Amino acid sequence: MHTLVALLALLLTSATALADAPTITKVEASRAGMGWRFDVTLSHPDTGWDHFANGWEIVDAAGKRIAHRELMHPHIDEQPFTRSLRNVMLPDGLRTIRIRAHCRPSGWSDPVKVALPH
């Protein structure tokens, strides 16, 4: 019986570890005053508080975080969904950024490269 319980726990843990990362389906970047505004659309099979897309971030080519948008709750019935981040200050001369999304518990998605409008 203990072996069956341990096997079941291992299978459930493995299934969670292999859960899908969020997919970034759309990014809109625009100048807003002195900074930038980013509207990011994500798709993710949120199932509840234990498995949901809980944020996205803007990084440079080296992977250094520029800004972060925390998502406070699951979006089970709202897929895909868009959330914005305003007043993002970017380094002068930056032409492209990367955006990646985070899922609890799966981790970070692959970054999506975004060219900034001139």
Assess if residue 1 is contained within a domain. no
Assess if residue 110 is contained within a domain. yes
Assess if residue 14 is contained within a domain. no
Number of domains composing the chain: 1
Quick one: pLDDT at residue 19?
Answer: 58
Q: Rounded to two decimals, what is the model's pTM?
A: 0.79
Indicate if the pLDDT at residue 103 is higher than 80: yes
25/20 Cα distance (integer angstroms): 14
Indicate if the pLDDT at residue 5 is higher than 60: no
- For residue 38, the domain's CATH number is 2.60.40
Integer CA distances (angstroms), 60 to 72, 79, 83, 115, in order: 24, 27, 20, 12
What is the per-residue pLDDT across 33-78, written as a single tens digit (0 to 9) for each?
Answer: 899 999 999 999 888 898 999 999 999 999 999 999 999 898 888 8
What is the per-residue pLDDT across 15-32, written as a single tens digit (0 to 9) for each?
Answer: 444 457 899 999 999 998
Assess if residue 13 is contained within a domain. no
Domain that holds residue 44: 21-115
Assess if residue 107 is contained within a domain. yes
